[in-house]
Every structure is written in structure tokens, then in C-alpha cells.
């Protein structure tokens, strides 16, 4: 028996198959491109998502013998928009979370009554679905009017699997169109923004059966028809489930294209300062506070590609260059940063360049700059001052040298969660609940992955980095 989890990331899709004890039976990955045709734009071709998903699923199934897939679950990158017609065919490229074009229409949100904004419980970010839809309605009116659905990325993939339109609370709560208090689409905002409420799919719980695998999808994936497909969850919410995070006293740090710090809470308590986010979790009755970083692995990958360096070369600079990069600093703000940052509209820069700086200095400075940006986000998350340890997950948690640098700069012990694809694992768990393998998310706690201590801050390095961080600020 196997459960299939599909995690649609920003630049790749990850697929895992797990058994009823949570053990990974197989995994696979498919990549695709992010398009930036104008400064501040970030788009993808959804067909590339679907083709990569087909390939990754077939590759994951190819190494299994005698394993029957009982359920399918999904997770995916948050915020963006896929406009589709009634047949589910996208009618323009997907606009992604890193896109800033909707900055020009945020004034429509700022004109809303404060009481209405309070129910959104989140800072205003241009890469969220609500502002993106406002931009499309204003600047691409014909395309907007031709749409039947405005999907979140993973919800479009689910439509490809089932032919059913649906959304889940964890993704919907990150659209700036959702009432975090009433736990439903916020009709007042949708109406006042003059958006079409019919574009938004019906809401279903993350663990519910949203539909079953169609004949057409089954044929291309190499699976039987009729497999139940769970609604699924946003990638961060799915990662929390996949790593067995149920404790409200624990902060989890996820490092990937972006970076996130999240802490579960049993009541929706918005950040009155407006610096951090509040979203619905994938568990039955909880929320989570989150400080999100746009410029995490995204910025590191950009520097690596521009300097024609491998990931090994990037991380090796930690051993060859001393803290502070001999006076070279990197500001990682290649895309608009989230509202925890004092100036979210900051742009990126290398500062302090000298003729004696080598390629390795630039690589090392990039790592430090991204880590400093992550520290700014951690310090914005309320109540974390006394927390001395962080649980770390995500693809960016693999390299030991990078972990140690992060521990020194964040001043916290890092405990690594033993699961390589946390969001895909969480998606598979949701598929298992939908298929009736487990009654609810709490029933999966017994096979939560273990954690192990991965890095302890070096006191001398921490003190040095505290001084460098002050200069960074």
C-alpha cells in the first residue's frame, strides 16, 4: 500500500510515495523554469508544471513493485494565480508569489475600512492572489473576464488530476481574500475590490476528498482511475504536518527558494505590528504565525548562476573565507521583501568591493547576506526571543557548513528534521487521511520523523556575527 504526495514548488515538483507507517518508499523530482520578462515579474508556464509532475510521478512509481496507490495528496507554492477557463485550461502564464507588479494596486486595499483589513489578519503583499487579481482586472481586463477560475498553483494541478475545482483554507488564508476569523472567503473585500467572487473555488478541508483521479490523468500518470485525491495544503502548512509539528512551543525554520519561520497557535492571533503573517494550518483546528523571507535560496541561486559557481563551490567558500568576507557585504533583496523588513522595497547590492576581493568573497558574502536577512525575519516573529532551538527542514537544510553558519548568525541550536521532502510528505499524509488510512492528522503523530542536533552556535563566531549584523542593519 502506498500514498502519493505531490509538492509543486517554485522551480521544481517533488513526489514521494510513503507507506502506512510514514516510511518513504520512493521519491522523484522534476524541474521547470521561472520566467521574468520584465523587472519585478515572476511567471511560470503551468504546462511545464504538469509535464514535470507526470514525469516525476512515473519515475517514482517505476521503482516500486506490488505497491498499490490508495490516495493522493498535494501541496504547493503559495499566493500565486493561475487563471483558467471552465475546462481548466490556463489562459495566461501563472503569476507567482515573487511577482511585484501588483504593488501599483495595493492602494485599493489600503482604502478598505480598518475593521475589514483586520479580518484579513495579514500585511499587504503584492504577490498574493488578491492584489494579483486586482492587477489583472485593471490591466488585462479581457483575459480576466474570460476566466472561470482563479486557482492557487497546487489547486490547478489538482484540477488536472480530478477535473474538480476546489481550494483549501491554508492556501486561501494567504490570498488577502480570506476571513481568518470566520474561516471563509471574505465577501466584503471581494465585493469592495470589484472582483468576481465566482472565480474563487469552493473551500474544502485539506484532508477531504476533493475528487478522484480521472481516466485521462490516470493514463498519463500510469495509475488506475478512481484514486481519492485530497484537497491538500499550502507548502508551508504541509511541511509542518510532514515534519510532525504539533507543538505550539516549537519554532520551525524551513529553507528553500524562500525561507519561513512558523509557530503553530490554537487561536487566530494577528500580529498587531503588521510585520508577520497568520495562516490556517493543515491540521484540523489550528493556525500558524509566520515570518517569511522572499530572498532565501532564490538569492543564493541567482548569485551562484551569475558567478558560474556550483552549489559545492558556494558552500566551500565558508571554509576559505573568514566571517565578514573581508569587508564585502551582500544585500539579498533581488525581489521585494516581506513586511518584516524595515524597507520592503529595498533592492540588492554588493557593498565594499575592493580589488583584492576574489570570486570566493562574493559567494561567501552572499551566504552571509541571506542569513542576515533570515535573522531579521526571525527577530520579527513575536515570542521567539527566549527560544534557544529551531527545528530546520527543507532542501536548504542539507549542507552542514551552511547549517553551522546559520546557527552562528541566528544564535540558535539547529535541530534537523529527518525528512528530505517535508511538504511532499505532508501532502502524502493528507492523501492517506482522505483515503481513510488515518482518521485525522493527530493519528499520524506516532510516526513523526525524528530530529537530531545539527549545529550549535560557536560563541566566538556568534559574537563576531552579532557585530557584523549590526553593520548589516
Q: In whole angstroms, give the CA distance from residue 202 to residue 211.
A: 13
Average pLDDT over residues 8-30: 94
Domain assignment present for residue 239? The answer is: no
Which of 48-52, 236-240, 385-389, 448-452 has the least mean pLDDT? 385-389
Same domain, 93 and 139: yes
**Confidence class for position 73, pLDDT limits 50, 70, 90:** very high
Q: Domain limits at 220?
A: 2-233
Q: Name residues whose C-beta falls within 8 Å of residue 182's C-beta, 6 or more positions apart in sequence.
A: 119
Q: In whole angstroms, give the CA distance from residue 296 to residue 259.
A: 5
Among candidate residues 459, 438, 436, 461, the one with its CA nearest the CA of residue 448: 438
| pLDDT for position 332 | 94
Q: Which of 49-58, 235-244, 293-302, 333-342 has the highest mean pLDDT?
A: 49-58
Contacts 24+ apart (CB under 8 A), 246-251: 246/283, 246/442, 246/445, 246/448, 250/391, 251/378, 251/381, 251/384, 251/387, 251/390, 251/391
- Single residue among 200, 233, 266 that ends a domain in this structure: 233
Q: In whole angstroms, give the CA distance from residue 96 to residue 152.
A: 9
Running DSSP on this structure, what letter comes out for residue 271? -
Domain total in the chain: 2
pTM of the full structure: 0.87
Among candidate residues 282, 21, 19, the one with its CA nearest the CA of residue 154: 282
Same domain, 195 and 325: no
Among candidate residues 88, 255, 211, 234, the one with its CA nearest the CA of residue 156: 88
Same domain, 248 and 221: no
Domain assignment present for residue 433? The answer is: no
Same domain, 175 and 319: no
Average pLDDT over residues 274-298: 88
Q: In whole angstroms, give the CA distance from residue 76 to residue 79.
A: 10
| pLDDT for position 342 | 72
Domain assignment present for residue 427? The answer is: no
Average pLDDT over residues 118-144: 94
Domain assignment present for residue 308? The answer is: yes
Domain assignment present for residue 425? The answer is: no
| pLDDT for position 396 | 65
Q: Are strands 413-417 and 389-393 parallel, antiparallel or unpaired?
A: parallel
Average pLDDT over residues 105-132: 91
Running DSSP on this structure, what letter comes out for residue 395? G
Among candidate residues 363, 395, 379, the one with its CA nearest the CA of residue 297: 395
Same domain, 191 and 303: no
Average pLDDT over residues 47-71: 95
CA angle in degrees (0–180, nearest 5) for 337-237-95: 50
Same domain, 287 and 140: no
Same domain, 205 and 248: no
- Strands annotated E in 89-227: 94-95, 149-151, 178-179, 184-185, 209-212
Q: Name residues whose C-beta falls within 8 Å of residue 393's C-beta, 6 or more positions apart in sequence.
A: 239, 242, 243, 252, 253, 254, 255, 416, 417, 419, 422
| pLDDT for position 283 | 84
Same domain, 206 and 79: yes
Residues in the chain: 473
Domain assignment present for residue 429? The answer is: no
- Strands annotated E in 312-388: 329-331, 349-351
Same domain, 226 and 282: no
Cα radius of gyration rounded to whole Å, the chain: 21
Q: Which residues pair with 26 in a beta bridge?
A: 17
Q: In whole angstroms, give the CA distance from residue 35 to residue 277.
A: 27
Average pLDDT over residues 86-96: 96
| pLDDT for position 395 | 67
**In this structure, are residues 348 and 331 in contact, taking their beta carbons and an 8 Å threshold?**
yes
Per-residue pLDDT at 92 exceeds 70 = yes
φ/ψ of 147, rounded to 5, equals: -80, 145
Domain assignment present for residue 122? The answer is: yes
pLDDT digits (tens, 9 = 90+) for 328-371: 999 999 987 776 777 767 889 999 999 999 999 999 999 999 99
Q: Which residues pair with 253 in a beta bridge?
A: 261, 392
Domain assignment present for residue 33? The answer is: yes
Per-residue pLDDT at 394 exceeds 90 = no
Among candidate residues 53, 45, 130, the one with its CA nearest the CA of residue 90: 45
- Single residue among 233, 253, 276 that ends a domain in this structure: 233
Q: What is the CATH number of the domain that holds 310?
A: 3.30.420.40
- Strands annotated E in 244-305: 252-255, 259-265, 277-280, 287-293
Same domain, 223 and 323: no
CA 299 to chain centre: 15
Same domain, 348 and 464: yes
| pLDDT for position 271 | 77
- Single residue among 213, 233, 253 that ends a domain in this structure: 233
- Residue 149 grid cell: 477560475
Over the chain, what is the mean pLDDT?
92
Between 151 and 244, name the one with better pLDDT. Answer: 151
Q: In whole angstroms, give the CA distance from residue 326 to residue 25.
A: 46
Per-residue pLDDT at 260 exceeds 90 = no
Same domain, 188 and 318: no
Whole-number Cα distances in Å, 236 to 240, 280, 284, 292, 424: 6, 10, 15, 10, 10
**Confidence class for position 60, pLDDT limits 50, 70, 90:** very high
Per-residue pLDDT at 236 exceeds 80 = yes
Q: Which 3 state secondary structure label does DSSP give 6? A: strand
**Confidence class for position 387, pLDDT limits 50, 70, 90:** confident
Q: In whole angstroms, give the CA distance from residue 403 to residue 392.
A: 9
Q: Are strands 389-393 and 349-351 parallel, antiparallel or unpaired?
A: unpaired
**Confidence class for position 118, pLDDT limits 50, 70, 90:** confident
Q: Which residues pair with 141 in a beta bridge?
A: none
Amino acid at each position: 500500500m502506498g500514498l502519493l504526495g505531490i509538492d509543486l514548488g517554485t522551480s521544481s515538483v517533488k513526489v514521494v510515495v510513503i507507506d502506512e507507517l510514514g516510511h518513504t518508499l520512493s521519491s522523484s523530482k522534476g524541474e521547470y523554469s521561472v520566467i521574468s520578462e520584465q523587472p519585478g515579474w515572476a511567471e511560470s508556464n503551468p504546462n511545464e508544471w504538469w509535464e514535470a509532475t507526470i514525469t516525476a510521478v512515473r519515475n517514482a512509481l517505476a521503482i516500486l513493485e506490488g505497491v498499490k496507490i490508495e490516495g493522493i495528496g498535494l501541496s504547493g507554492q503559495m499566493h500565486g494565480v493561475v487563471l483558467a477557463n471552465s475546462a481548466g485550461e490556463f489562459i495566461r502564464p501563472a503569476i507567482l508569489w515573487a511577482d511585484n507588479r501588483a504593488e501599483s494596486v495595493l492602494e485599493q486595499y489600503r482604502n478598505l475600512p480598518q475593521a475589514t483589513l483586520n479580518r484579513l489578519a495579514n500585511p499587504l503583499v503584492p504577490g498574493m492572489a488578491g492584489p494579483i487579481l486586482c492587477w489583472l482586472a485593471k490591466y488585462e481586463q479581457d483575459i480576466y473576464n474570460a476566466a472561470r477560475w482563479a486557482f492557487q498553483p497546487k489547486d490547478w494541478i489538482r484540477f488536472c488530476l480530478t477535473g474538480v475545482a476546489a481550494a483549501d483554507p491554508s492556501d486561501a488564508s494567504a490570498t488577502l481574500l480570506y476571513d481568518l476569523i470566520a474561516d471563509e472567503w471574505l465577501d466584503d473585500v471581494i465585493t469592495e475590490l470589484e472582483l468576481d467572487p465566482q472565480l474563487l473555488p469552493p473551500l474544502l478541508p485539506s484532508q477531504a476528498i476533493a475528487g478522484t483521479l480521472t481516466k485521462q490523468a490516470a493514463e498519463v500518470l500510469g495509475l488506475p482511475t478512481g484514486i481519492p485525491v485530497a484537497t491538500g495544503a499550502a507548502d508551508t502548512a504541509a511541511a509542518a504536518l510532514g515534519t510532525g509539528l504539533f507543538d505550539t512551543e516549537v519554532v520551525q525554520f524551513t529553507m528553500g527558494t524562500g525561507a519561513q519561520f512558523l509557530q503553530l497557535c490554537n487561536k487566530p492571533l494577528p500580529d498587531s505590528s503588521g510585520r508577520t503573517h497568520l495562516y490556517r494550518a493543515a491540521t484540523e483546528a489550528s493556525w500558524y504565525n509566520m515570518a517569511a523571507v522572499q530572498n532565501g535560496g532564490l538569492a543564493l541561486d541567482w548569485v551562484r548562476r551569475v558567478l558560474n559557481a556550483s552549489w559545492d563551490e558556494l558552500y566551500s567558500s565558508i571554509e576559505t573565507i573568514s566571517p565578514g568576507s573581508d569587508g564585502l557585504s551582500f544585500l539579498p533583496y533581488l525581489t521585494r521583501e516581506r513586511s518584516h523588513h524595515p524597507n520592503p522595497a529595498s533592492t540588492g547590492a554588493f557593498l565594499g568591493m575592493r580589488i583584492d576581493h576574489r570570486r570566493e568573497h562574493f559567494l561567501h558574502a552572499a551566504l552571509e547576506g541571506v542569513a542576515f536577512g533570515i535573522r531579521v525575519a526571525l527577530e520579527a516573529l513575536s515570542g521567539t526571543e527566549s527560544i534557544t532551538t529551531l527545528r530546520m527542514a527543507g532542501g536548504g537544510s542539507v549542507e552542514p557548513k551552511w547549517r553551522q553558519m546559520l546557527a552562528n548568525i541566528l544564535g540558535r541550536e539547529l535541530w534537523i528534521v529527518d525528512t528530505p521532502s517535508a511538504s511532499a510528505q505532508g501532502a502524502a499524509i493528507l492523501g492517506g487521511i482522505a483515503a481513510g488510512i488515518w482518521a485525522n492528522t493527530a493519528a499520524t503523530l506516532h510516526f513523526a520523523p525524528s530530529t537530531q542536533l545539527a549545529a550549535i552556535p560557536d560563541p566566538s563566531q556568534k559574537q563576531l556575527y552579532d557585530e557584523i549584523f549590526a553593520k548589516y542593519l
